[in-house]
Structure 1
Amino acid sequence: MDLNNLTGFLVHRTDLKMTNFFTKLLKQYEVTPEQWGIILVLDTERATSQKELAEAIDRDQTTVVRMIYSLEKKEIVRRIQNDSDKRSHNLYLSDKGMSLKTKLMPIVTAAHEHITKYLSNDEIQQLHDLLAKLYSTVKDE
């Protein structure tokens, strides 16, 4: 069997290359692709719980706590204790985090356009649909 006929191999190989490409773009801003995911999800206006964030970026809560701690040290994220549930924290982007999000958005948009430059809008949508189907097959495994 040829590796290039295995969907899992092709998806993984593509993911590695795309992650490396994106990591290089974000390195000068001292942000990882995973941290960018958090920054993108968080908003300065609406509180987000750690559980909601973990679900949004599809990571376990333990991993998310470590990532939040790192972003807090960089003063990008603010964690405020929930008034109604003292065991829970609300997460917000700090002013610095919002500024970083604004600065990175055109860079991320350009990166997306670069990696999809040989695909039509219909093909991009089709790719998203196909990846969603693959994901739904294995998400609970």
Structure 2
Amino acid sequence: MELSNLTGFLVHRTDVKMTNFFTKILKQYEVTPEQWGILLVLDTERATSQKELAEAIDRDQTTVVRMIYSLEKKEIVRRIQNEADKRSHNLFLSDKGMSLKTKLMPIVKAAHDHVTKYLSDDEIQQLHEILSKLYATVKDE
């Protein structure tokens, strides 16, 4: 068996290159691809718990707490204690965070269009379905 025939290797190689590409695009805005994922999930109006956020971006809660702390220091995210459960916090985008999200949306869309430029809409849909199947196979391993 050759390395280039291993699905895991091909997925990992692609992930590394795409992460590097998006990191380069977002660097001037002082946002990482992971932080961009948080910006996409959070809103200025609807509260999101740290647990919901961790599930949405598929990270453990300890990692999410560190990421939230970093975004809070940049005044992008607001963390407000949940009145019903004092152990929990509600997360919101700040006005600065919403402005950044709005500014980055067309930039990230253009970057997405660039990395998928050789794929048809049907191929993109198929790729999403295939990656979802691969993920479902290993997500609880």
Please give the secondary structure, in 2, of the residue aligned with 1:80. strand
- The TM-score normalised by the length of structure 2 is 1.00
- Report the counterpart of residue 26 of structure 1 in structure 2: 26
Name the CA distance, whole Å, in 1 between partners of 2:24 and 2:131: 24
- The TM-score normalised by the length of structure 1 is 1.00
- Report the counterpart of residue 133 of structure 1 in structure 2: 133
- Report the counterpart of residue 76 of structure 2 in structure 1: 76
- Report the counterpart of residue 58 of structure 1 in structure 2: 58
- Report the counterpart of residue 47 of structure 2 in structure 1: 47
Q: Report deviation, 1:56.
A: 0.1
Which letter does structure 1 place at the counterpart of 2:76? Answer: I
Name the CA distance, whole Å, in 1 between partners of 2:80 and 2:2: 52
Which letter does structure 1 place at the counterpart of 2:27? Answer: K
Name the CA distance, whole Å, in 2 between partners of 1:100 and 1:45: 16
Following TM superposition, the consecutive aligned residue runs of length 4 or more in structure 1 with deviations greater than 6 angstroms are: none
| Cα displacement string for residues 34-67 of structure 1 (whole angstroms, at most 9, x for unaligned residues) | 0000000001110000000000000000000000
* Percent of matched pairs sharing the same residue: 89
Q: Report deviation, 1:83.
A: 0.3
Please give the secondary structure, in 1, of the residue aligned with 2:83. coil
- Report the counterpart of residue 111 of structure 2 in structure 1: 111
Q: Report deviation, 1:81.
A: 0.1
Which letter does structure 2 place at the counterpart of 1:54? Answer: A
Alignment size in residue pairs? 141
Structure 2 residues not aligned, in runs of 5+:
none
Please give the secondary structure, in 1, of the residue aligned with 2:137. helix
Name the CA distance, whole Å, in 2 between partners of 1:118 and 1:92: 36
Q: Report deviation, 1:127.
A: 0.2
- Report the counterpart of residue 93 of structure 1 in structure 2: 93
Structure 1 residues not aligned, in runs of 5+:
none
Please give the secondary structure, in 1, of the residue aligned with 2:17. helix
